[in-house]
């Protein structure tokens, strides 16, 4: 890769450049339900008024999604921020692979199908059942099931993870009914046995990330693989019963369930079967993939590992090669901001709590595990609390800030990047008061960063990876009026990300950079990489999205 070119106008500040990502903090369209606007945020308000500021696009094609109706998320957001360009992401790549039939002509798909035909065994699909298009899409599952039937698969089992996070909080039955109708239509066309076999909320089973709670994966293993757990006649019966027993529960938190006939699970995963994990996003797919593939697995008592053919929709970790078999190749992201800075000899720090640690490291570095240079990079993970986010909405923001303030003042780093998870993780709970507190906690911490950067003549960049806390009320899709819960008389919570832009502020307390807006229109968050390079005293690589500021 080419080397960075030093700027002739500005050689960088005396102190560090600090990139602060307020996860899930956007600029709301409506006053009602905008917890960012409702919160007391004097530091952010000051930045928006006194610093150089603008707004950036954080969803849709600006971050590599198929269309501008697709929300952004933390993974593709940090990809875009860290690599400085827009790459087509999982959803787009899979849509094209299905349309072109490359996915079905590939060696992995053929291997899994041939294995099932040869053993007269079952083809299993595990994944998030929704059209949120963040981790998965139900249309992808339907395409795979249709092709499986066409290629002679007689028995398929679907293990569904309920969303309520990237879609409406209690919309699970809409997707279950859609899938059941789809399977019924397939069965009418030929003599096949395709059924839902198990399920549970995505925050209860299977979809842990960053090794925060292997117990979730263990529970998913027992549910999907062993067919152990509470048994029901159908997914609808399970969801309706579990909702009655857990008043107020949203889909992501529903307990696991197993579908049974004559008291026996209909879909345990056994020797000779094939398994496809149909999520395309990596962070919450790695651990279950390791459970299926690792020969030396020790995270929980797995029991005898079934001898199956396993594949992911994509490869979720390109460095660790997890999983070893996958249907669609992930985007090839190279020449990230972190790698460029290492080549230029810039000492860096990346820090967040567990919930977003992988975002400021793995995703920021273009889906790459590990460091580019052990001597020039330090990564700090602050362990997240193992409690529901709404019960502790301040999360680990203060502890992160303690370490960042120390790092700013000790002069060891020229570039620091950090993520405050609060606005996103608490936003997903739908608990309005907790979300307000979460935003305020982040603002308190930004005030501390302002002082530290001012003291050291550094430069502070504050932005976000997508919106969430800025759009917390569910609205009618046509009229945009707020949907009211008939039982409580209060607005129904919206737990998914927003399509709103995010703020971007650059604070140069010493004034030596002579920072001003660059004048480029309709920039997305991928522009933050070039912005940080400008502020560090470098010109952007030619194919990087332009900086939001000019200097010197």
Active site residues: 74
Contact between residue 251 and residue 228 where contact means Cβ atoms under 8 Å apart = no
Q: Which residues contact 247 (CB under 8 A, 6 or more apart)?
A: none
Query: Angle CA(214)–CA(220)–CA(222) in degrees, nearest 5?
Result: 105
d(CA 186, CA 464): 44
The angle that helices 527-536 and 74-83 make with each other, rounded to 10 degrees, is 40
Structure tokens at 495: 């737990």
Let me know how long the chain is: 552
Contact between residue 126 and residue 206 where contact means Cβ atoms under 8 Å apart = yes
In degrees and rounded to multiples of 5, residue 514 shows phi and psi of 50, 55
Structure tokens at 15: 């102190």
Give the three-state DSSP class for 141.
helix
Contact between residue 274 and residue 285 where contact means Cβ atoms under 8 Å apart = no
Contact between residue 361 and residue 210 where contact means Cβ atoms under 8 Å apart = no
**Cβ-based neighbour number of residue 510 at 10 Å:** 14
In angstroms, how far apart are the furthest CA atoms of the chain? 77
Contact between residue 430 and residue 169 where contact means Cβ atoms under 8 Å apart = yes
User: How crowded is the C-beta side of 300, counted as CA atoms within 13 Å?
Assistant: 18
How are beta strands 516-517 and 549-550 bridged, if at all? antiparallel
**Cβ-based neighbour number of residue 96 at 10 Å:** 14
d(CA 276, CA 292): 11
User: Of 480, 503, 482, 502, whose CA–CA distance to 493 is shortest?
Assistant: 482
Which residues is 129 bridged to in the sheet?
Answer: 162
Give the three-state DSSP class for 228.
coil
Which residues is 276 bridged to in the sheet?
Answer: 125, 311
d(CA 307, CA 304): 9
Structure tokens at 147: 């092709």
């Amino acid at each position: 890769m080419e080397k960075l070119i030093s700027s002739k106008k500005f050689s960088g500040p005396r102190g560090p450049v600090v990139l602060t990502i307020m996860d899930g903090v956007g600029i709301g369209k409506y006053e009602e339900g905008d917890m960012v606007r409702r919160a007391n945020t004097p530091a952010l308000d000051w930045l928006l008024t006194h610093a150089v500021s603008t707004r950036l696009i954080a969803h849709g094609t600006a971050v590599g999604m198929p269309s501008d109706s697709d929300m952004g998320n933390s993974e593709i957001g940090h990809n875009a921020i860290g690599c400085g360009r827009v790459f087509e992401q999982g959803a787009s790549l899979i849509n094209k692979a299905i349309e072109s039939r490359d996915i079905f002509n590939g060696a992995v798909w053929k291997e899994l199908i041939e294995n099932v035909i040869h053993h007269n065994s079952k083809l299993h699909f595990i994944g998030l059942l929704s059209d949120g298009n963040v981790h998965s899409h139900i249309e992808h599952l339907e395409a795979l099931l249709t092709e499986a039937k066409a290629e002679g698969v007689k028995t398929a089992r679907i293990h569904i993870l309920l969303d309520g996070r990237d879609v409406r909080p209690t919309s699970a039955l809409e997707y279950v009914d859609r899938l059941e109708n789809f399977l019924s239509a397939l069965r009418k066309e030929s003599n096949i046995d395709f059924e839902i076999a198990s399920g549970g909320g995505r925050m209860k089973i299977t979809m842990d990330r960053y090794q925060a709670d292997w117990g979730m994966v263990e529970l998913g293993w027992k549910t999907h693989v062993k067919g152990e757990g509470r048994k029901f006649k159908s997914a609808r019966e399970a969801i309706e019963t579990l909702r009655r027993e857990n008043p107020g529960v949203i889909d992501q938190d529903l307990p696991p369930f197993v579908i049974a006939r004559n008291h026996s699970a209909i879909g345990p995963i056994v020797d000779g079967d094939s398994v496809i994990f149909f999520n395309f996003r990596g962070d919450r797919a790695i651990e279950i993939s390791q459970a299926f593939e690792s020969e030396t697995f020790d995270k929980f008592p797995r029991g005898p590992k079934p001898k199956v053919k396993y594949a992911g929709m994509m490869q979720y970790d390109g460095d660790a090669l997890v999983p070893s078999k996958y249907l669609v190749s992930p985007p090839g992201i190279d020449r990230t901001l972190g790698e460029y800075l290492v080549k230029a000899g810039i000492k860096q720090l990346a820090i967040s709590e567990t919930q977003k640690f992988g975002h400021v490291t793995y995703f920021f570095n273009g889906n790459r595990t590990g460091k580019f240079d052990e001597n020039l990079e330090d990564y700090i993970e602050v362990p997240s609390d193992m409690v529901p986010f709404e019960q502790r909405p301040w999360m680990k923001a203060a502890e992160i800030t303690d370490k960042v303030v120390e790092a700013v003042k000790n002069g060891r780093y020229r570039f620091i990047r950090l993520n405050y998870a609060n606005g996103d993780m608490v936003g997903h709970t739908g608990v309005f008061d907790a979300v307000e507190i979460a935003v305020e906690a982040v603002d308190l911490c930004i005030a501390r960063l302002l002082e530290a950067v001012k003291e050291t003549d550094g430069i502070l960049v504050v932005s976000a990876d997508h919106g969430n806390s800025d759009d917390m009320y569910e609205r009618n899709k046509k009229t945009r009026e707020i949907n009211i819960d008939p039982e409580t008389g209060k607005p129904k919570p919206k737990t998914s990300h927003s399509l709103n832009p995010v703020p971007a502020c650059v604070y140069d307390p010493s004034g030596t950079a002579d920072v001003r807006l660059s004048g480029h229109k309709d920039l997305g968050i991928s522009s933050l990489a070039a912005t940080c390079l400008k502020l560090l005293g470098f010109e952007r690589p030619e194919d990087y999205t332009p900086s939001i500021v000019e200097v010197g």
